[in-house]
Chains A and B, each alone.
Chain A
Amino acid sequence: MVFDISEDELPIFQAETEDHLTTLEDGLVRLEQDDRDPELLQALFRSAHTIKGTAGMIGHKRLVEITHVLENAFDAVRKSQLPISTNLIDLCLDTVDILRSLRDEVITSEASACDVPQMIESFRTFLDSTMDSTKEQKSKIEENSKTKSQGVTPVEKVSEIKQAEEIKGKIVTNELSDLKNANNELHIEVDISSTSVASAARAFQILMVLQSAGEIVHLIPTQKTIESAAPVGHLSARIIPSKSEEEIKKEILGVPEIDRLVFKNEVISLVEARSGENNSKAATQPEFEVSRLGEYLLSKNFITADELKTVLEKQKTYPPDSAPLLGQLLVSMGLLTQSVVDHAIEETMNQKRTAILTGGDSTKSGDHLIDRTVRTSVERLDALMNLVGELITDRNRLIKIHSAFERDFRGNENTNTLSEAVVHIGRITDQLQEEVMHIRMLPVANVFKKFPRMVRDMAQKVGKEIDLVIRGQETELDRSVIEEINDPLIHLIRNSVDHGIESPEKRLEDGKEKRGTIILSARHDQGRIVITVEDDGGGINIDKIKAASIRKGVITQAEADGMSDDKAIDLIFESGLSTAAKVTDISGRGVGMDIVRSNIERLNGSILVDSVPGKGSQFQIILPLTLAIVPTLLVKVRESVFAIPLVTVVETQKLIDQKFQTVNGKSVVVLREKIIPLIKLADVFDLAADKHETNFSYVVVVRTSKQEVGIIVEHLVGEEEVVVKSFGHVIGEIQGVSSAAILGDGQIALIVDVQGLIKLSANH
């Protein structure tokens, strides 16, 4: 797979086609719902058109062909010749899939397995069956979709030939009479190339030349015919010239795509001088270009001086305006292969480009080439973020040192100077962090954009009618987070489609709208991002969940009986649990929700579920804006410092009475009439006891999903933004601890993974 695209063009190609593919996918789904919004149709048409244009430029013929079919279908819908139907949208979406595979060929340089002719055939069959009532348009679309026919239908072709024959007949008779009466009239005949895409426009260009050249006394086809845009193969005219004949001839030959010109008695054929596809290369190639190519070939010993001389002489035998290029001649005379010539042209171009770019007066043009945006790699951004992280650690350290100075040398002039410097560096660091984080931000639309299509396809598969409403897709978050939330969101949305939304019959039975709605939204909330997946389906059946949990041995019957609904609903996050009546290929295999939760918690986020039977369910994912820096609450337990992510912290309480109550043999504390199970960090992590018994005087209440637990600690050290350092392969995963951080005073703190901690304590 070789395409005419350079490395620097590839990212532009990729990004641009991706945009258009998304527009197509998104627009098609909306088209099915909104029904022919003219602006939407226009946008769809434009996207197909642009992809086609770009594909043509890189020589991707199959991509051109299939995009052309799509473009024509949109055009037909736009002109109300084709009704919007589910079948049509299906077909278009399938085509978009193929476009994507074909686009990827350009990026990977590997051929894809997609069957383009088959797809075009399916489209044609579909049009056959749907456009019977409007046969005329159907044939137009079909013909148009055959790109090779250049938009000329056979019928038109025939009439064109007939017309040409008629014209020829007339010319003969005219010529006879001309001889007698019109010596001052100029007789002109032009053949326009049959490969011209808009031959009527070329004819019009010739017409304009003729109009400026004198008085037109005879013209076939007539101006009216030309203006009807019907293809023009042959044009015949007589004018009374008001300019010199040479001038008129030159101007006519200036119009591209002319195969043959009869000018007075002179016949100028331009067909042979032209190389196959490339229509009007010849006429305007500058002289110096030719000589530079010759020089280059000579200098590299590709050709001898004699050969060059022969070729140049041969070139001179052609009319000056239509001489073939040096390269073409060399190839046609068998002196060089096309690839050598191509390479040589590329080289000479490069030389010239370099000359211009290094030359003095090129600065002005250079300015336009410098984009106001810079493309950079993700690795660089990550490295930058790491450095900012280090800086934050040092800033925290400086603040510590500063407060020590404040304590010991208050009022000292140097302490005051230090104070100013520390405050300033603190502020700059904050700003720097903000800027870097900002650079790394991407709108969640990057993830959301593929869901409309996904929901549509899945809903169709399971026979449901579902609208996906997306809100806040411009909300930005760190690209590392964006990457990670993709899979969890797919799971949640699949669940809503498969288990959440009921069948249309069931919904009507329940007095609901036939179409279900899933709302996917994102918003910022106090330095966190909240993503919600909400459906108006049947809600989660608590009894079923409990029953399934008992069956799988997750809980006992007694536990189930005593379990609150809030807690029971969290059982859906237990592994191996599925309450779906039947397993479908979309979801219901009992894997998913537990993975969703562990994925989100690995990001220091949390997931909450809420459900009202008969009304619907809501899943709320709360995530930090970035993964690299986490706001935490630092706590101390037996000389070790732990960092608890602030996202999870509900409250802290000083314990006055240290005698905890026990329920079912487990320690609990009662806070405002709420029973909260307790976890002793010291016990869970088997921290060695000090010589003297320490006082566990604080409880930090943390929440994960709907579950709240209290972590018993000795001291609260304070809040600190810490830079996350992963353990790496040597240490590996430690249950209950997600990663580590270096604190301002140089100490190392372990960042607590609350979910893991709860599991760990249960095993203790």
Chain B
Amino acid sequence: MAKILVVDDAEFLRVRISKMLVGDGYEVIEAENGLLALNAYKAQKPDVVLMDITMPEMDGLTALREILAVDSGAKVIMLTALGQESVVLEAIKSGAKDFIVKPFERDRVVGALQKLIG
């Protein structure tokens, strides 16, 4: 069972994504900011990370770089919104595998995951 780390400071988003994924048999772990995500990544080694960009404590871009520093093969998909074009590009350049734009539907998330996990 693939393990997915969902990182977003909005609980609503985490719950929504968990609901999308758990039905398909993914194991979901959650973190509410970049710092907690980094710790969770080290401890739990998820298969894929779905990560918001704008977060308190540690933002998504920093967390992405930190995670990649720990595991250069980390598969991180950024969750983004309108108006973050340059940050998204920065994330892709830094090694994010993909990005998903909010609002997104279940198929988009599952599709992106399947592409990475196979």
Contact = CB atoms under 8 A, between A and B. Distances in A.
Interface string B69-83: 000000000001111
A239 interface: no
A12 B11 contact: yes
Interface in B34-54: 52, 54
A657 interface: no
Interface string B57-100: 00000000000000000000000111111101101110000110
B92 to A, nearest CB: 5
Nearest to B26: A365
Given A16-B12, A57-B102, A284 B115 contact: yes
Main secondary structure of the interface of A (DSSP, over half): helix
Given A12-B11, A204-B93, A365 B107 contact: no
Contacts, number: 143
Contacts of A12: 11-12, 15
A9 B15 contact: yes
A365 B1 CA distance: 9
A54 B1 CA distance: 28
B44 to A, nearest CB: 10
Nearest to B106: A349
A365 B28 contact: yes
A201 B93 CA distance: 8
Contacts of A49: 54, 81
A46 B27 contact: no
B28 A256 contact: no
A352 interface: yes
Nearest to A150: B82
Given A281-B105, A353-B23, A365-B26, A57 B85 contact: no
Please tell me the size bucket of the interface on B: 35 or more
Contacts of A50: 9-10, 54
A650 interface: no
B107 A46 contact: no
Main secondary structure of the interface of B (DSSP, over half): mixed
Nearest to A255: B98
Contacts of A286: 110, 114
A227 interface: yes
Please tell me the size bucket of the interface on A: 35 or more
Given A285-B111, A353-B23, A198 B85 contact: yes
B83 to A, nearest CB: 6
Contacts of A284: 107, 110-112, 114-115
The interface centre, meaning the residue of A204, A284, A285 with most chain B CB atoms within 10 A of its CB, is A284
A59 B103 contact: yes
Contacts of B56: 43, 46
Contact of A369 (B12, B22, B102, B105): B22
Given A9-B15, A368-B28, A53 B83 contact: no
A570 interface: no
The interface centre, meaning the residue of B13, B18, B88, B89 with most chain A CB atoms within 10 A of its CB, is B89
A188 interface: no
Contacts of B105: 278, 281
Given A353-B22, A368-B29, 7 more contacts: A57-B104, A75-B83, A151-B83, A201-B99, A284-B112, A352-B24, A365-B25
Interface of A: 9, 12-13, 16, 43, 45-46, 49-50, 52-54, 56-59, 68, 71-72, 75, 144, 147, 150-151, 197-198, 200-201, 204-205, 208, 226-227, 229, 231, 254, 256, 278-281, 283-286, 325, 349, 352-353, 356, 361-362, 364-365, 368-369
Interface of B: 1, 9-13, 15-16, 18, 22-30, 52, 54-56, 80-86, 88-89, 91-93, 98-99, 101-105, 107-108, 110-112, 114-115
